[in-house]
């Protein structure tokens, strides 16, 4: 268990502490692109195509955004040092096919951070859409289903979601401040807070490297550099119980997770957002929990819900303990920045990308 000295026993303060009702009618967290800014996206796309740069090779320099790049730098600061999320609207995805929209999304991501692998197949640009699977299959991930996804975090500094097509009904997206939830736990059940800093075991959903355990040992809370960082995924926590060598959850653990879920779902804390075609949602996984409601899709394949997904490591990301992500390769010789090691790339090769003075797995 983490030393008591690293357990935050006072309320969090600052812009990362917010409540949904206070932001529901605010435009502070929404960036509506101007026609000039969308023209910049189109010009950058043409530049990439004219030079024939493959999508995964596109860098920020390959995707020039003369004025929008400054706005994206501001957004990166909001993600790390502000409220932890932003919704960018009016990306004209209806004008582009999937390939062009993917290039635009990737180019925007390059101005914000460095993409990391989202699964054991090494996918750097993901697709959130229904594949017909269910979470009963241990190899299925939540974003591949139409099922409700409870409040959770993903395995990177920042999650980016670009909506190409919305669902027929449902799929409501909701956000909650991790720090606000933490403060509420501290106020209601202060003795439970320390349990967030204990080691918990999360199912790796069949995505571990050969020879590695099928679960990760992680802490759900970290207090480093004056910032609270939380990661939480109850689905993976509970599915890890299928392994006989994983200790059984204690009643106090279940009580804590029930309280986190209750608080996150509460209208006192939750912010519901409309997530429509052309919307880009960016959120800091250390500061924001997110959820998605169950949805019904269209019958026609060309109309079905389709969301592009990026996991990004911030270039100026916060300090994290070496074992924050729980992956063995992240704690060997450097602070890891998230992502899932591809099965066909050994750990030393997977550490090749660097951001500033930090290296990212």
What pLDDT score does 165 carry?
A: 97
Residues 143, 146, 151, 154, Cα dihedral to 10°: 0
According to DSSP, residue 318 is labeled P
What is the pLDDT at residue 132?
Answer: 86
Give the other-Cβ count within 10 Å of 36's Cβ.
10
Q: Which helix (H) or strand (E) holds 158?
A: strand 158-165
Structure confidence at residue 348 (pLDDT): 36
What's the pLDDT at 326? Answer: 74
What's residue 354's pLDDT?
30
The pLDDT value recorded for residue 2 is: 39
Between CA 263 and CA 176 the distance in angstroms is 9
What pLDDT score does 351 carry? 35
Residue-level pLDDT at 335: 42
- Please list the ranges in the chain whose pLDDT falls under 70: 1-5, 327-336, 345-361
Residue 309 in contact with residue 161, Cβ under 8 Å? yes
- Per-residue pLDDT tens for 124-159? 999 999 988 887 877 778 788 988 999 999 999 999
Q: Which two tokens stand for residue 73?
A: 């730098």
The DSSP secondary-structure symbol of 8 reads: -
pLDDT for 135 equals 78
For the chain, domains (ranges, CATH) are 27-359 (3.60.130.10)
Structure tokens at 149: 């996804």
Tens of pLDDT, residues 182-207: 999 999 999 999 999 999 999 999 99
């Amino acid at each position: 268990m983490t030393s008591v000295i690293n357990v935050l026993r006072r309320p969090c303060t600052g812009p990362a502490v917010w409540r949904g009702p206070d932001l529901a009618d605010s435009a502070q967290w929404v960036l509506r692109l101007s026609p000039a800014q969308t023209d910049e996206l189109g010009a950058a796309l043409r530049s990439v195509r004219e030079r024939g740069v493959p999508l995964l090779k596109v860098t920020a320099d390959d995707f020039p955004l003369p004025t929008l790049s400054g706005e994206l730098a501001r957004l990166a600061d909001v993600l790390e040092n502000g409220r932890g999320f932003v919704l960018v609207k009016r990306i004209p995805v209806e004008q582009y096919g999937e390939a062009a929209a993917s290039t635009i999304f990737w180019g925007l991501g390059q101005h914000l951070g460095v993409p990391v692998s989202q699964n054991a197949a090494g996918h750097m640009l993901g697709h959130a859409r229904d594949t017909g699977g269910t979470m009963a299959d241990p190899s299925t991930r939540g974003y591949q289903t139409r099922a409700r996804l409870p409040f959770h975090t993903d395995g990177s500094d920042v999650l980016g979601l670009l909506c190409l097509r919305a669902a027929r009904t449902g799929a409501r997206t909701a956000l909650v401040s991790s720090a606000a939830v933490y403060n509420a736990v501290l106020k209601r059940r202060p003795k439970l807070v320390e349990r967030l800093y204990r080691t918990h075991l999360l199912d790796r959903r069949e995505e571990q490297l050969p020879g590695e355990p099928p679960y990760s040992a992680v802490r759900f809370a970290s207090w480093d550099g004056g910032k609270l960082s939380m990661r939480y995924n109850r689905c993976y926590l509970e599915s890890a119980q299928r392994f006989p060598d994983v200790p059984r959850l204690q009643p106090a653990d279940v009580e804590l997770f029930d309280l986190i879920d209750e608080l996150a779902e509460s209208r006192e804390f939750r912010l519901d957002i409309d997530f429509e075609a052309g919307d880009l949602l960016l959120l800091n996984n250390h500061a924001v929990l997110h959820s998605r409601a169950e949805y019904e899709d269209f019958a026609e394949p060309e109309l079905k819900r389709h969301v592009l997904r990026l996991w990004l490591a911030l270039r100026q990301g916060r300090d994290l303990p070496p074992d924050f992500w729980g992956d063995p390769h992240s704690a060997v010789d450097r602070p890891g920045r998230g992502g899932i090691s591809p099965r066909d790339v050994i750990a030393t090769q997977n550490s090749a990308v660097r951001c500033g003075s930090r290296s990212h797995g």
